[in-house]
Amino acid sequence: MENVKKKPADLATIIKQAKKRNMDLDERFLAKVFNFAEKAHQGQKRASGEPYINHPMEAALILAKLGLGEITIAGAILHDVPEDTNYTLKDIEKNFGKKIAFIVSGISHLGKIKLRDKQKHYNLENLRKMFLVMASDIRTVIIKLADRYHNMQTLWAKQPQKQQRIAKETLEIYAPIANRLGMGELKGDLEDLAFKYVYPDKYEGFLKITKDKYKQYQAISKKSIQEIEKMLKLQKVPFMDIHGRTKHLYRLYLKLKKYQMNLDKIYDVVAVRIIVKNVRQCYRMLGIIHQHYRPMIGRIKDYIALPKPNGYRSLHTTIFGPAGKLIEVQIRSKEMHEESEMGIAAHWLYTEKGKKTEANLEKRQADSLNKELNWVKQLRNWQKYVGRDSKQFFRSLRIDFFKDRIFACTPAGEVIDLPQGATPIDFAYAIHTEVGNAMIAARVNEKKVALNHKIRNGEMVEIITQKGKTKPSEEWLEHAKTGMATVKIKQSLKKSKKINWLVAKKTNGVKS
């Protein structure tokens, strides 16, 4: 069962984990914070039967592993004090200062907001409040995510009804927030923890399909790692780390659904990850891997030149691997790796060089976060966007959430995610290269538009194509906003030039 006894998080573990992230936490200060919280929660128990203090300490440990500073860690240790004990926010302020009290007040405010009404619909006004609180200090969001993460780990101890509600909220609200912050690991874990409570039947079925295969895949992964490592060492190719990663369950489930639950069609159930020093070595490593293992056509993805919308960078390739099976290899620098695992928190590791005074550090962190998180600020202007019905609400939730991104849809309702300023040209190439090449006109909300029309959020875009047309217009390059469209247009132009040239040569040949 999930109820595996493990040593509860203590301060020493937290400090140790922080050190691994090069964070020197102020031990004396945190000891004071811990003693205060322990005293406040004395005698209280969690639904799981363990002492209450374990919960805030586990949340703090999650944050220490992400490399967060002591204000955030202290906020996590204290996060349930005003809500559940005889001590107040005033006590916290008196002992630990205004900043920490402010962050803790945000968390306890969040705890009081009921996200749904009796009919289990999301309460729009309250969701709005939630985002306003989160927007006041990003550390509030991050602590809330750690709080939720630990609550999900101990959800087995709750009533089934509560399990349902909490797990659903996690899937629908908190995992997307983690994703938007670029905290990929956390997002994946939150989804996996929620999966079995939200869709118990599907979860069971999924496990049945995947259980044995999963083991096979893991064996393949292990063998591949050994072989590749041996090869790299033999060739004296430098690398920092090589390890395996297994796809998160819920993500795999979603992908499987697209492929009629056929696991054989999915090539990245397990992947080999190679960490190198810098971008140049990433490309070098890709070359070396391809030299030794044949890559699968159409499976080489350069997310360094073309990062994913949430900032993810890596090189991906699927190779006919050393274990005689197809396996995905992911190549990235250490910096990219930390960014993909820890998202926004990773930036702190790279901005805190220099003097490490607490005030200095927290200020730098706050600066870098402010730059990152314009979307949070935008949440403050929420009212403007929120309509009365929930469809409108969720549309605006997405809009605000993914600032700098727009969402347009096809007449069939498929949502296409584009950067701001994107045109029908980008839209067409986002659907498919062939659609782009064959495009002759576009309609937006059923009206004809110029191809340089700037698509707005929520617009329905219809691409009108001409059968047999395979050549884009050179002038489109001026109006394409996405790197993807630009690359595809250039490639298609090149291709058609080549063909023209060949045709010309052939005709010339006939003539002469």
Q: Which residues are catalytic?
A: 83-84
Binding window for Mn ion (CB under 5 A); candidates: 73-81, 113-121, 163-171, 447-455: 73-81
Report which of 417, 464, 419 is spatially closest to residue 443, judged by C-alpha positions.
464
Residue 39 or residue 356: which is nearer to Mn ion going by CB? Answer: 39
State the nearest-atom distance from the C-beta of 109 to Mn ion, in Å: 13
- Contact set for Mn ion, span 131-170 (CB under 5 A): 147
In the complex, minimum distance from the CB of residue 63 to Mn ion, in angstroms, rounded to a whole number: 13
Q: Which residue has the tokens 């990062």?
A: 307
Residue number, 147 or 189, with CB nearest to Mn ion: 147
Minimum Å gap between C-beta 74 and Mn ion is: 15
Long-range CB contact pairs, 344-347, < 8 A, 24+ = 344/138, 344/142, 344/181, 344/182, 344/183, 344/369, 344/372, 344/373, 345/66, 345/67, 345/68, 345/142, 345/183, 346/67, 346/182, 347/372
Contact range with Mn ion by CB under 5 A, out of 72-80, 119-127, 195-203, 490-498: 72-80
DSSP summary character for residue 83: H
Q: Does 462 bind Mn ion (CB under 5 A)?
A: no
* 80 is an interface residue for Mn ion by CB under 5 A: yes
CB of 297 to Mn ion, least distance (A): 49
Residue 397: CB minimum distance to Mn ion, A: 24
Region from 77-85, 164-172, 366-374, 392-400 binding Mn ion, contact rule CB under 5 A? 77-85
Size of the site for Mn ion (CB under 5 A): 2
Closest to Mn ion by CB, 75 or 188: 75
Write out the DSSP string of 286-339: HHHHHHHSPBPTT--EETTTS--TT----EEEEEE-TTSSEEEEEEEEHHHHHH
- Cβ contact 149:189 at 8 Å: yes
244 and 270 Cβ atoms separated by less than 8 Å: yes
Q: Give the residue at shortest CB distance from Mn ion.
A: 147
Q: Which residue has 């002038």 as its token pair?
A: 475
For the CB of residue 108, give the shortest distance to Mn ion in the complex, in Å: 9
User: 115 or 282: whose CB is closer to Mn ion?
Assistant: 115
Q: Based on CB atoms, which residue is closest to Mn ion, 143 or 272? A: 143
Cα–Cα distance measured from residue 455 to residue 418, given in angstroms and rounded to the nearest whole number = 9
Does 58 participate in binding Mn ion (rule CB under 5 A)?
Answer: no
Cβ(416)–Cβ(409) under 8 Å?
A: yes
Cβ closest to Mn ion, residue 80 vs residue 462: 80
Q: At 202, phi and psi to the nearest 5?
A: -65, -35
Q: Which residues of the chain form contacts with Mn ion (CB under 5 A)? A: 80, 147
